[in-house]
Chains A and B, each alone.
Chain A
Amino acid sequence: EAQVTQNPRYLITVTGKKLTVTCSQNMNHEYMSWYRQDPGLGLRQIYYSMNVEVTDKGDVPEGYKVSRKEKRNFPLILESPSPNQTSLYFCASSGSFNYGYTFGSGTRLTVV
């Protein structure tokens, strides 16, 4: 089944403790992206990647890092999480920059 898999689905962590949210897709897509969803703000793009080793900032990249060492994986790294990064995070992938993305099921992150 074609899908984008994110892990974990739920995560509660403490301020300053580094964490990684993994994202993997099995569709051989070039394009991958991370979003956060917050009430009243919709989805905001954090980072995107056009291919292996090619990444760029989205609308809200502060406090996040990404890497794309393999085509299928696009992890989101929070080096020093803060409470304002408490959010619902989505990873997505697409075979073309001008086509709809396939989204993962989301990761609910709480930073206390």
Chain B
Amino acid sequence: DQQVKQNSPSLSVQEGRISILNCDYTNSMFDYFLWYKKYPAEGPTFLISISSIKDKNEDGRFTVFLNKSAKHLSLHIVPSQPGDSAVYFCAASTGNQFYFGTGTSLTVIP
């Protein structure tokens, strides 16, 4: 059973606007959450992470929000740029075990 879910397979956003990617999880023992970006024919690239003791982490244009009571994670990209077009995976971990979502394909339209 999928412990980390990304229910939107795809998302299209205009350049300059905000992209919001969502992720839900079921295991309350997860203590660390991450977002990765993946281009075709390449491995995933680490973007940003957040510990379960925080509710927000920011790095430049990328902000991750964690709502533990709702078991929900989101990634905000502001402003969105065409180079952000990629597949985004959220992941959650407990100890050394990592669980990934199925990915959301983001297209930023110039």
Contacts and interface: CB of A to CB of B under 8 A. Distances in A.
A5 B70 CA distance: 38
B100 A42 contact: yes
B89 A42 contact: yes
Main secondary structure of the interface of B (DSSP, over half): strand
Interface stretch (B13-21, B43-51, B75-83): B43-51
A84 B101 CA distance: 20
A58 B98 CA distance: 8
Contacts of A48: 96-98
B29 interface: no
Given A42-B102, A102-B46, A103-B43, A97 B96 contact: yes
Interface residues of B, number: 28
Interface string A87-99: 0001010000111
Interface string B53-73: 000000000000000000000
Contacts of A81: none
Interface in A37-85: 40-45, 48, 50, 56, 58-59
Nearest to A103: B43
B43 A105 contact: yes
Contacts of A58: 97-98
A40 B2 CA distance: 10
Interface of A: 4, 31, 33, 35, 40-45, 48, 50, 56, 58-59, 90, 92, 97-106
13 contacts: A41-B102, A42-B89, A43-B44, A48-B97, A58-B98, A90-B44, A98-B32, A98-B51, A100-B34, A100-B47, A103-B36, A104-B43, A105-B43
Given A31-B96, A42-B6, A58-B98, 7 more contacts: A35-B100, A43-B100, A56-B96, A99-B49, A100-B34, A101-B46, A101-B98
